[in-house]
Structure 1
Amino acid sequence: MKLLKRFGIGLLILVILGTIGLAIWEPMSVSTVTPPPEKTYEARIVRDNFGVPHIFGKTDADVAYGVAYAHAEDDFQTLQEVTAMTRGRMATLNGAEGAPIDYVAALLDVEGTVKRKYDELPADVRAVLDGYASGLNAYAEEHPGEISLAKLFPVNGRDIAAGFALRSPFFFGLNGPIQALTEGKPLRREGGPSLSVPIENRTVHPLSDDKIMTPVGSDPDENGSNAYAVAPARSSDDKTRLISNSHQPLRGNVAWYELVVHSEEGWDFAGANFPGSPFPFLGHNKNLGWTNTVNRPDLIDIYKLTLNEKRNAYKYDDEWLPLEKKRIWLKIKYGPFVIPYPQMVYRSIHGPVIINDQGGYALRYAGMDQLDMLTQYYRINKAQDFDAWQAAMAGQGVPATNFIYADAKGNIGLFYNAMFPDRAPGFDWRTVLPGDNSNAVWQKTLPFTRVPALINPASGYVMNANNTPYVAAGPRDELNRETFSPLMGIEDDETNRSMRSIDILESFDKIGEAEIRKLKYDTAYVKRGYAKAWLDQIAALDVPAGSDYETAQNLLGQWDWDLDGEGPADALALMVLRPANKSHYRRGEKPDPLEILTETVDHLNQYFGRVDPPMLEVLRLRQGNVDLPIDGGNDTIRASTLWDVEDDGRLSVRHGDSFVMFVEWDKAGVVTSRSIQPFGAATTRPESPHYTDQMQLFVDKKLKPVLFDPVELEKNKASEKVVGTAVNP
């Protein structure tokens, strides 16, 4: 009896010790990162009436320090998530939902890329990264109570670079093949019509779930944007115009953060970045500007490896090469515990390898194992004319995204930017490739001179709305698709937004303020394409006579094709069109029209008691205690792309129109700009006056001045502070 009692007490002690151990072992297992080299930084942060930070510094590194510090003041929570992601500690911070992100970081060997490539970056780029890291460290040190994860700080420039290496490939769809291969699902390829390659006997990866491939905080298949540039010749007032209308999540680690920077080293820029970046990704300086839209060329190739029986070597031409493998431990938070979860990652000469029941599959993708996007973004930020901007673009660091350009001299252009693999003819690049043939493994990318570019077309405008670059400037002024090799994998897709944009732009003789506003805030659908085909299918359904489903059919049959919130069928159309657009944009399986109609009608009846509630009662922009109606839909130029269904049945927008910027250069080349955000500058600070202060303007389709000129800022500043290593907190 005494023995059993002693055994029980001993077991209890072991359980307690084990519990304590699981609670504290993870931070103990993390190596302390060497902070950036000690240096004196000083930045002045001036905030305007909307809380937008304007950061001034003597050097670019000083400004980067201030960018990080100001952003942390507004959203330290998200910056910590980005830091955890780059360190492979997302699952420790956020639990099991973060484990796939940590797995992907290891699979892509982000840490190895930084070790191999960081020291090759130019010294001035590394100085800016260190300045940014130092700003984050300073904020963390001054606000220890806000730190969510032990030993997350200090960070250094390498950590900042790692964030770029991890997140960049997911903007051109690397999530797709990784998810398909880990789950044993058919492969869907980018860059034109879908080709599905079945992988039989589905194998479910232990980390697989619907969220496995969303490490950038957004579903890459739903990314969108509209962008327009108008030359003086087409303008009604001789102005050059650039309209930036990015569609991103409204919250999270790829939500836009607005800022303005001024450095005595010539870095003057107004725009927006993502958490974790020292540089604005889009916007303008005095002389030029650009914006971006997601493009989807085929930049990923997949190889079936010939493995030996032990699966530790693969055939490559006439040799057997060892398959690299590495055991990793995903540190997953469960309540107060952190549980180690083992996984194996593989690599071949091709790139990352995923092994399932069908064998080994290697991936090779644009921008693999490089950090040059950091240099490119920095250089285009500081370019002062079109030639310098194009020279910076020719560095080809950004793996993919359209750039729509305009400048003070009246130049405009669309650049279908991508690091196109230099593929050899003779292979079906649309399918899984033979991994044992070195001729199928491309070694370089095409030069920037091969990138599709449309500069100063006769139409006087360029546009993109996540559509093919072959539709960008209207009839008679488009690129000739016959001049581009099919091996480049350039997509042929159109969106409702692209078709509608061309229709509207072609209807104008001249384009001024009124016309550009009409275009930007348009909420209509064209009566052709996937939307027309889908509504025809719904109209043809055999539903019970006299039922609410028949009523819904009749309402949709009379719909005015405009999601402005004024018609009785708008709520119905909003909800039934979203699945159709999703399948069209993803080139995926078509939804069942009867199922979608039934779900929509049932939802509206359950929560609103009718099938024709006003759309503006259904679709909402919500943050904190502010709850506002909003218009637009899933593929309208005024975009309310994705939403969460909340407890009251209303649809709370979480993705769509986000940072909007109107830029103009007058005849004298003087720049002015206006902008708006859906919520405000401080998206995770409910106590801040800038948590919701832009919402009413946003739904009212109004813009605020950017105050790029420091003289104008001084007249309208709300606060000012100096931060830096030589400044007392």
Structure 2
Amino acid sequence: MKINILLRVYKRKSIRVLPLILSLILVLFVGSHTIAVPTKSTEILWDTYGVPHIYGKDNRSAFYAFGWAQMQSHGDLLLRLYGQARGRAAEYWGEKYLDSDRWVQTARVPERARSWYKAQSPTFRSYLDAFATGINAYASQNPNLIDDQIEVVLPVKAEDVMAHLHRILNFTFVVNPEDVLDLSKQKLQAGSNGWAIAPTHSASGKAMLLANPHLPWSDLFLWYEAQVTAPGIDAYGATLVGVPVLAIAFNNNLGWTHTVNTYDGWDVYELTLAGKGYSFDDKVRNFETKTLSLKVKQKDGSLLEQPLVVKSSVHGPVIAEKNGKAVALRVAGLDRPGVLQEWWDMARAKNLTQFQTVLKRLQLPMFTVMYADREGHIMHLFNGQVPMRSEGDFKYWQGVIPGNTSKTLWTKIHPYQDLPRIVDPKSGWLQNTNDPPWTTTFPAAIKADNYPLYMAPRFMSFRSQRSARMLAEDDKISFDKMVADKHSTRMELADRILDDLIPAARKYGQDLGQQAANVLEAWDRQANADSRGAVLFAFWVQQMHFDKDKGFSKPWNENSPRTTPDGLANPESAVATLQAVAAQVEKTYGALDVPWGKVFRLRLGNVDLAANGGDGKLGIFRELDFAPGAEQTFQAVGGDSYVAAIEFSNPVRAMALTSYGSASQPGSTHISDQLQMFANKKLRPVWRDRSDILAHLEERKVF
């Protein structure tokens, strides 16, 4: 195939043949796909799973094509998200978006996005302009494929791209509006698994990386898989819809993934109102006040204007006022506009030194970085714009902070060298499942006592314990075993607690309790589609309201992080709960040992499959989040979303899956077309070489 490419190139009279032929021969014999085949045109090669492989004649052209590709796959969604990021969604689509607009405008997202755009280098600004131009070009040439109600957002500007990014990162991930309104609850179900395996722990002697974010399967959380090839870059990975660069990616030399870390980059301050302002350092300071006008589309199509008064203290915008008090929100990183450039340059790096040089910019506000490369290095970085706080531990800063003194007002963030980080641990492996960095590997490589108490909390979840167990139990782990472990549905909590629950049920249980004990004893302790007993156990755990310090006779202990918590604090009460749950399960489903997949389903469009996987709180590595569905069933609404397994061999070996498919646009054949593989615990091969892509080509677009 490669020789055929050379012959076709030779026949093109417009090319100076000899130098090109010599350079291509050099590439073919020196190493596999180290340099992309030069091209005079820009094109998108769509493979049979709807993944775009973008070949740009220059970087601006690649950004243009990426904008076009995202519109073809997710046009309606992308434009709706941009409309929300403008803070004008209620103007476009009605009152149901009014709270969203208030949040975006109060946070000054559109205003800051304009300044962020201007702060880009002229070169990178031109890339963002090209991405927006690609979006508009697709919409102009395919007007019938865009929802008429969504077209009002057009034309898109690069400022909209920045606003969307800003809304996602700083005002959804760093701080979610629902979390601000109720500090006692964390409502955003965002998580991830990430592994980095060194050559010493790899069966092939090559470093490996596992990327596995867990996000809701809708809205601004959808992942979009792509390959971007242009001068200086040949990267494969995924990003969130509407973001113009890859956020999780690998190239021929290195790769990284992100996990949502235990990062605290925001605080709420309670202010005492005084006069026309608030008390601060024994003086009265006036609020900075700005009045905006929100337009709300009515059912008859008319627009109703509503004023929005945005007050800001020295801390940030005021989000609530009551009984002589006000609450102001402070968010880190609002002066750091370079995250897109940082991700872009991470994908262009060739080694660990270059990669860390990019990371040191600290433009990415949060997310753990799990890294592996061809040279055999692995790294865990607790990345984030962590405020330098004067006092208090992590728990203290989760509450409402006194806002009447400058002593509690942070103004700086920790530099890169202050952040928890480990490169090439003795164990040969690193893992993170949204836990603090202290348990990333064993023996422990990052000591919590060496960092401020507010840097991160101290705990290790059952999912993280399961993750570490799977990595530690193999002296050498193969690529295939890594993929198999990725799909593990075994419940670490069941392994921990059934040896207490089953004997207690035998001792205290009545007839139904005895039957429940029999079901649990026969159960395989997994959440596979045919697992019988998993439903009973999961529903029992839900009613027990366990946490690391509640419900267990032995709470979690950082000196025994992988074997605690353990035991039942009140076995008799636990059995009473088990009997009540058993009665409900039998009444609802007709049997105590109802198969997991009968109750928990994968439903997208017309596809309805038995699910496997479940809540990470059960200690399941393959996490799925469910919501109530039809006929007493539950359907997956989040969790395992994008998976990439990479081995840095020559050539790089990689497999991937986007659970819900590569498109959301109505009429696409790539909505849910990967869901059966997901149900079967399979990944698909990643096609990166042009010859492989052409062998699985569905569509070609040339610009």
What TM bracket, shorter-length normalisation? 0.7 to 0.9
Once the two structures are TM-superposed, the CA of residue 638 in structure 1 deviates from its matched residue by 4.5
The Cα offsets for residues 447-502 of structure 1, whole Å up to 9 and x where unpaired, read as: 0111111110011111101112111112x2421111111132x1223222210111
Once the two structures are TM-superposed, the CA of residue 545 in structure 1 deviates from its matched residue by 4.7
Q: CA 1:533 to 1:118, structure 2 compared with 1: closer, same or farther past 3 Å?
A: farther
- Could you say which residue in structure 2 is the equivalent of 1:665? 648
**Superposition map of 1:388-537 within 5 A:** 388-425=354-391, 429=397, 431-474=399-442, 476-488=443-455, 490-527=456-493, 532=497
2:309 paired residue among 319, 344, 368:
344
Once the two structures are TM-superposed, the CA of residue 601 in structure 1 deviates from its matched residue by 5.4
The Cα offsets for residues 6-45 of structure 1, whole Å up to 9 and x where unpaired, read as: xxxxxxxxxxxxxxxxxxxxxxxxxxxxxxxxxxx97311
2:177 paired residue among 175, 179, 182:
175
User: Is 1:354 aligned with 2:322?
Assistant: no
Q: Distance in 2 between matches of 1:514 and 1:357?
A: 58
Q: Distance in 1 between matches of 2:121 and 2:239?
A: 21
- 1:323–1:346 CA contact under 8 A, matched in 2: yes
User: Is 1:240 aligned with 2:211?
Assistant: no
- 2:438–2:444 CA contact under 8 A, matched in 1: no
- Could you say which residue in structure 1 is the equivalent of 2:290? 326
The letter for the 2-side match of 1:292 is H
Q: CA 1:512 to 1:156, structure 2 compared with 1: closer, same or farther past 3 Å?
A: same
- Could you say which residue in structure 2 is the equivalent of 1:214? none
Question: Which stretch has the larger CA shift, 290-299 or 312-321?
Answer: 312-321
Q: CA 1:579 to 1:133, structure 2 compared with 1: closer, same or farther past 3 Å?
A: farther
Query: Which runs of 5 or more residues in structure 1 are unaligned?
Result: 1-40, 181-186, 191-218, 724-729
The Cα offsets for residues 222-245 of structure 1, whole Å up to 9 and x where unpaired, read as: 211111111111111112111111
Number of residue-to-residue matches in the alignment: 635
User: Is 1:315 aligned with 2:317?
Assistant: no
The Cα offsets for residues 228-279 of structure 1, whole Å up to 9 and x where unpaired, read as: 111111111112111111111223221111111111x212110011111111
Once the two structures are TM-superposed, the CA of residue 616 in structure 1 deviates from its matched residue by 1.6
Q: Distance in 2 between matches of 1:58 and 1:581?
A: 56
The letter for the 2-side match of 1:127 is S
- 2:491–2:620 CA contact under 8 A, matched in 1: no
**Superposition map of 1:595-606 within 5 A:** 604-605=585-586
Q: Distance in 1 between matches of 2:663 and 2:419?
A: 38
The Cα offsets for residues 160-189 of structure 1, whole Å up to 9 and x where unpaired, read as: 011111121322344355213xxxxxx349
TM-score normalised by structure 1 residue count = 0.80
**Superposition map of 1:544-693 within 5 A:** 545-546=510-511, 551-552=515-516, 555-556=519-520, 559-577=523-541, 604-605=585-586, 608-635=589-616, 636-666=619-649, 669-685=650-666, 687-693=667-673
- 2:613–2:622 CA contact under 8 A, matched in 1: yes
The letter for the 2-side match of 1:628 is L
Q: CA 1:67 to 1:597, structure 2 compared with 1: closer, same or farther past 3 Å?
A: farther
Q: CA 1:433 to 1:613, structure 2 compared with 1: closer, same or farther past 3 Å?
A: closer
Q: Distance in 1 between matches of 2:584 and 2:98?
A: 34
- 2:462–2:493 CA contact under 8 A, matched in 1: no
- 1:352–1:364 CA contact under 8 A, matched in 2: yes
- Could you say which residue in structure 1 is the equivalent of 2:564? none
The Cα offsets for residues 626-654 of structure 1, whole Å up to 9 and x where unpaired, read as: 22112111115453422232222222111
Q: Distance in 2 between matches of 1:538 and 1:372?
A: 58
Query: Which runs of 5 or more residues in structure 2 are unaligned?
Result: 1-39, 552-568
TM-score normalised by structure 2 residue count = 0.83
- 1:125–1:378 CA contact under 8 A, matched in 2: no
- 2:70–2:242 CA contact under 8 A, matched in 1: no
Once the two structures are TM-superposed, the CA of residue 595 in structure 1 deviates from its matched residue by 11
Q: CA 1:676 to 1:538, structure 2 compared with 1: closer, same or farther past 3 Å?
A: farther
- Could you say which residue in structure 1 is the equivalent of 2:675? 695
The letter for the 2-side match of 1:609 is G
Once the two structures are TM-superposed, the CA of residue 347 in structure 1 deviates from its matched residue by 1.0
2:688 paired residue among 708, 716, 721:
708
- Could you say which residue in structure 2 is the equivalent of 1:257? 224
Q: Distance in 2 between matches of 1:115 and 1:579?
A: 48
Q: Distance in 1 between matches of 2:499 and 2:135?
A: 49
Q: Distance in 1 between matches of 2:613 and 2:374?
A: 32
The Cα offsets for residues 520-553 of structure 1, whole Å up to 9 and x where unpaired, read as: 1111122489x84999599789999556x77557
3-state SS in 1 of match to 2:597: helix
- 2:527–2:613 CA contact under 8 A, matched in 1: yes
- 1:619–1:653 CA contact under 8 A, matched in 2: yes
**Superposition map of 1:296-307 within 5 A:** 296-307=262-273
The Cα offsets for residues 355-392 of structure 1, whole Å up to 9 and x where unpaired, read as: 32241122212223432222221221222221111111
Q: Distance in 2 between matches of 1:355 and 1:680?
A: 40
Once the two structures are TM-superposed, the CA of residue 395 in structure 1 deviates from its matched residue by 0.7
The letter for the 2-side match of 1:486 is L
Q: CA 1:430 to 1:81, structure 2 compared with 1: closer, same or farther past 3 Å?
A: closer
Once the two structures are TM-superposed, the CA of residue 339 in structure 1 deviates from its matched residue by 4.2
**Superposition map of 1:126-145 within 5 A:** 126-145=125-144
Q: CA 1:574 to 1:425, structure 2 compared with 1: closer, same or farther past 3 Å?
A: closer
Q: CA 1:66 to 1:404, structure 2 compared with 1: closer, same or farther past 3 Å?
A: same
- Could you say which residue in structure 1 is the equivalent of 2:36? none
- Two-structure CA RMSD over aligned residues (Å): 3.3
- 1:452–1:469 CA contact under 8 A, matched in 2: yes
Q: Distance in 2 between matches of 1:540 and 1:82?
A: 51
- Could you say which residue in structure 1 is the equivalent of 2:32? none
The Cα offsets for residues 49-106 of structure 1, whole Å up to 9 and x where unpaired, read as: 2121101111222111111211111111210221111111233455444222211101
Report the identity percentage.
28
User: Is 1:165 aligned with 2:132?
Assistant: no
- 1:371–1:397 CA contact under 8 A, matched in 2: yes
**Superposition map of 1:363-378 within 5 A:** 363-378=329-344
Q: CA 1:305 to 1:570, structure 2 compared with 1: closer, same or farther past 3 Å?
A: same
3-state SS in 2 of match to 1:307: strand
Q: Distance in 1 between matches of 2:140 and 2:506?
A: 63
The letter for the 2-side match of 1:444 is K
The letter for the 1-side match of 2:624 is T
Q: CA 1:644 to 1:424, structure 2 compared with 1: closer, same or farther past 3 Å?
A: closer
Once the two structures are TM-superposed, the CA of residue 446 in structure 1 deviates from its matched residue by 0.7
3-state SS in 2 of match to 1:417: coil
Q: Distance in 2 between matches of 1:536 and 1:175?
A: 39
- 1:638–1:657 CA contact under 8 A, matched in 2: no
- Could you say which residue in structure 2 is the equivalent of 1:229? 196
3-state SS in 2 of match to 1:225: strand
The letter for the 2-side match of 1:658 is S
- 1:86–1:162 CA contact under 8 A, matched in 2: yes
Q: Distance in 2 between matches of 1:504 and 1:429?
A: 34
2:239 paired residue among 273, 296, 301:
273
User: Is 1:122 aligned with 2:121?
Assistant: yes
Q: CA 1:533 to 1:375, structure 2 compared with 1: closer, same or farther past 3 Å?
A: farther
- 2:486–2:622 CA contact under 8 A, matched in 1: no
